[in-house]
Amino acid sequence: MKFWGIRFVSIIIAIVACLALQAFEGGRSDYEQRIIVLIGLYITLAVSLNLINGITGQFSIGHAAFYQVGAYLTGFLTVTYFAKQPIHNLGAWLILMMVVGALGAAIAGLIVGLPSLRLRGDYLAIVTLGFGEIIRIIVQNQRILGGSYGMNVAPKYKSIALVWMLAIFCIAVCRNLLKTAHGLPFLAVREDEVASSAMGVNVTRVKVTAFLLGSAFAGAAGALLAHFEGFITPTTFGMDVSFIILTMVVLGGTGSITGSVVAAALLSYLPEYLRGLKGPDGQALQIAGYNVVAWLIAVGVAVALIRWAINNYHGPKAKKYGLYVGAFLVGFVVRYVTSFGLKFIPGLAAKLIPVDQVRMLIFAVALIVIMLLRPQGIFAHHEFSWSWVRRLFTRRPVPQTAVSA
């Protein structure tokens, strides 16, 4: 009884929290609403890709395709049928569209997943990327879907509550999968496909389930995006979007839901943060070309030093962290010294780059740096848990051993 009580209460709390967020944000600027919605959508996308990539270990890098299927399918249905059908409540229609988008994307996921069962590792990656591109090119050539000009989705409907409910639902599904016996086959397939198959795991079923679930969530997110923005183009779902979602999963830690959520929130807010930065003249902040180069060199030096410390220093932990901090400091020094030197290169000094254009550069550098320093991601396989929080505030009992006594 207690189990179901906690479940029931947490579901109520989640719904109330989402509605409260909606009520709070309802009167605020479109810009702020858009950021909140994008963060929610990217959390859904990252967590659902994490289900395929991190939890099941199937390296898929075409997630934007499912997002696109959901968006275009439901956008098309709304434009064509909304006026003609009996549900005149847009909210209820949007919930129906989320289900339809999820189903459509799940079918697409099945189409990708079934043939890809024979492939693994980097080949699977390439095929999923290829499917993503094929879907984008097909959509681009359909006049009925607006072709490369894009499609107006009318009527549009902004629902922050639905976006966040979807995100929470997605997190809950993945978390429960990991916490229960249903999730064990997924982890077994990730660790060793052949061995788990020998132990009686139905590998095919596990992989297809992962693809179905992951793509269904992405499809529902696509439905929400289409109705929130009111306008979608094939470029909204390009290869770069797939790579951004992948960066979120990898950065947070493949397999960690917490990691995906945190990384998705950070990385989807980053471009908006950069865009909002103002220079001294009140215009959008610009960064000089030599500074970008200096930063890249500094990051390279710091990464090299930290790698050296990881590989060659085996002393006490505190000193090791001291070395990391030292590497960062050296990086800062290098950044100022090199920028002083690079200033004299005429081409670099004159070049001014608006700060929001370095977004993809930051993603790329983050991807490389995280692979070089911590390939398992920031959170690795760890998850957020209340007992961990509790431990932070309680004194740990000192282990008493015979030797120390």
Partner 1 sequence: MTIALHLVAGVEFNTLPQQLVNGVLLGAIYALIALGYTMVYGVLRLINFAHGEVYMLGAYVALFTSYFLGFRPDQYPTGSTVANLLIMLLASMVVCSLVGVAIERFAYRPMRGHSRIASLITAIGVSLLLQYGGALFLPTSPPPSISEKVNPYYGQSKTFALAKPSPALAQEAEKLRPATESAKASYQAWLSTHPDANEFELPADGKALKTTAQDTERKYQDAKHKLDTGGVNLIIQTGQAVMLIATVVLMGILTYLVLFTKAGRAMRAVAHAFDSAALMGVNVNSIVTFTFVLGSALAGAGAMMTATFLGTPLSTFYGLAPGVKAFVAAVLGGIGNIPGAVLGGLLMGLAENTVVWLGYSNYRDAIAFIVLIIVLLFKPGGLMGSSKVEKV
Side chain identity, residue 92? A
In the bound state with partner 1, the residue whose beta carbon lies nearer, of 59 and 379, is: 59
Report d(CA 248, CA 122) in Å as an integer: 19
Minimum distance of partner 1 from residue 18's CB (angstroms):
33
Report d(CA 245, CA 48) in Å as an integer: 10
Minimum distance of partner 1 from residue 374's CB (angstroms):
10
Site track for partner 1 across 357-386, x = CB under 8 A: xx-xx-xxx-xx--xx--x-----------
Of the ranges 27-35, 81-89, 135-143, 390-398, which one interacts with partner 1 (CB under 8 A)?
135-143
Q: Does 250 bind partner 1 (CB under 8 A)?
A: yes
In the bound state with partner 1, the residue whose beta carbon lies nearer, of 87 and 195, is: 195
Which residue(s) pair with 232 in the sheet?
151
Q: Does 307 bind partner 1 (CB under 8 A)?
A: yes
Output the CA angle 273-36-377, nearest 5 degrees: 70
CA atoms within 13 A on the CB side of 279: 12
Side chain identity, residue 94? L
Of the ranges 115-123, 151-159, 199-207, 386-394, which one interacts with partner 1 (CB under 8 A)?
115-123
Report d(CA 379, CA 51) in Å as an integer: 15
Residues in binding contact with partner 1, number by CB under 8 A = 49
Minimum distance of partner 1 from residue 34's CB (angstroms):
23
In the bound state with partner 1, the residue whose beta carbon lies nearer, of 230 and 289, is: 289
Which residue(s) pair with 354 in the sheet?
286
Closest C-alpha among 95, 92, 96, 82 to residue 153: 82
Minimum distance of partner 1 from residue 242's CB (angstroms):
10
Residues 49-78 close enough to bind partner 1 by CB under 8 A = 59, 61
- Between the alpha carbon of residue 56 and those of residues 66, 190, 251, the distances in Å are 18, 5, 17
Closest C-alpha among 128, 129, 130, 120 to residue 57: 120
Minimum distance of partner 1 from residue 199's CB (angstroms):
12
Q: Residue 248 is encoded by which pair of tokens?
A: 């979120």
Q: Does 243 bind partner 1 (CB under 8 A)?
A: yes
Q: Residue 121 is encoded by which pair of tokens?
A: 């590792």
Of the ranges 123-131, 215-223, 320-328, 337-345, which one interacts with partner 1 (CB under 8 A)?
123-131
Helix residue ranges per DSSP H, 313-374: 317-342, 346-350, 359-373
Q: Is 267 helix (H, G, I), strand (E, B) or coil?
A: helix
Residue 74 in contact with residue 258, Cβ under 8 Å? no
Q: Does 345 bind partner 1 (CB under 8 A)?
A: no
In the bound state with partner 1, the residue whose beta carbon lies nearer, of 33 and 376, is: 376
Report d(CA 89, CA 155) in Å as an integer: 11
Cis peptide before 346 (omega within 30 of 0): no
Site track for partner 1 across 178-217, x = CB under 8 A: --------------x-xx--x-------------------
Minimum distance of partner 1 from residue 268's CB (angstroms):
17
Report d(CA 311, CA 308) in Å as an integer: 5
Q: Does 125 bind partner 1 (CB under 8 A)?
A: yes
Residues lying near partner 1 in the complex (CB under 8 A): 59, 61, 115, 118-123, 125-127, 129-131, 133-134, 137-138, 140-141, 192, 194-195, 198, 240, 243, 246, 250, 289, 292, 296, 300, 307, 348, 351, 353, 357-358, 360-361, 363-365, 367-368, 371-372, 375
